[in-house]
Amino acid sequence: MGPHFTLLCAALAGCLLPAEECVICDPSVVLALKSLEKDYLPGHLDAKHHKAMMERVEKAVKDFQELSLNEDTYMGVVDEATLQKGSWSLLKDLKRITDSDVKGDLFVKELFWMLHLQKETFATYVARFQKEAYCPNKCGMMLQTLIWCKNCKKEVHACRKSYDCGERNVEVPQMEDMILDCELNWHQASEGLTDYSFYRVWGNNTETLVSKGKEPILTKSMVGPEDAGSYRCELGSVNSSPATVINFRVTVLPKRVEEEKPSPNIVTPGEATTESSNTLQPLKPEKMLKGRLLGLLIWGSLALITGITFAIFCRRKVIDFIKSSLFGLGSGVVEQPQVPKEKATDSRHQ
């Protein structure tokens, strides 16, 4: 495992980065390489090819050791996130090769082609970090934790730029709230920051501490003309110098005047009642919908009651008609007309 493992680690370091051994700083990569040499190589590469492959590995190492640093793409350092991204990409491709159970010359070709692709991929990651995440502060001093690829040491790097982050003009109407925001977008990512201190700066070059703490915003309610003037915010750090200094120039404007408008449903002098009723605010769609639904419900109820009443009335009429019909047919005897007795006696005598 000794010399072969060392050369393999060096090959991966040289092929993956446009510098020295950055990806080897991840312990998971070291474990994966040990497993590759101990568990995979013995059964997948003929012993007689070991020497030739290691010579190619050594040549690749020498080629990449001679690459120069570039302040636009690589400065010999990365952050934790970039290292993890590159390590995950390497381990994924390495696992793909071992899972395929490829052997012999095909294994060697697959391995070196993977290293070639990973070199380009990781170079993209490092260039992006160098452009976007390496010392992103435009002003002030940011303390950023970085990993030095040459010795894998993690240290705090001071990104020093001008402490003065400029002056901001703030206008606030009288009797409203004044808000001074001292936070910059890189403050959350910086190490070693302490407290935000807000000062009121006077004309005789003196200043008074207004507030101090972890909150980056100073708020003063119901400001008046006496609150106009200069303010200064200073963010402290574990070092003797501040991280950022921001100046504010506050201007207090006249009180905002709001015109009072009469309510639309109030009749003003000289206006007719009919005209004032026309100025009523229209109902909201929700109220209109509720009114319509209530009207439909009332009319539906009336229609239902009317229908039920009519049905009951008709039912009684039908029942009375059936009863009268049945009783009339059931007697069966037709009554003969009665003749007066006197008329009957006279007819007999005749």
Q: What is the pLDDT of residues 96-145, one digit of tens each?
A: 999 999 988 888 888 888 888 888 888 889 889 999 999 999 999 999 99
Share of residues in the chain with pLDDT > 70 (%): 72
The residue-averaged pLDDT of 233-241 equals 92
- Name the residue with tokens 């005598």: 349
The CA-CA-CA angle for residues 134, 139, 141, to 5°, reads: 70
Strands 244-253 and 164-173, how do they pair?
Answer: parallel
Q: What domains lie within the chain, and their CATH numbers?
A: 18-133 (no CATH), 162-253 (2.60.40.10)
Mean pLDDT of 15-40: 74
Contact 201, 250 (CB under 8 A): no
What is the distance between the alpha carbons of residues 172 and 255, in angstroms, rounded to a whole number?
9
The answer on pLDDT for 270 being more than 70 is no
Residue range 1-24: average pLDDT?
Answer: 56
Residues 65-79, mean pLDDT to the nearest whole number: 68
What pLDDT, on a 0 to 100 scale, did the predictor assign at position 64?
43
The 10s digit of each residue's pLDDT in 300-320 is 888 888 888 888 888 777 777
Predicted pLDDT of residue 348: 46
pLDDT at 84: 93
Specify burial of residue 305 (Cβ count, 10 A radius: 0-12, 13-18, 19+): exposed
Query: How confident is the model over 175-199, as pLDDT tens digits?
Result: 999 999 999 999 999 999 999 999 9
Residue 266: the pLDDT is 56
Question: Average pLDDT, stretch 311-337?
Answer: 65
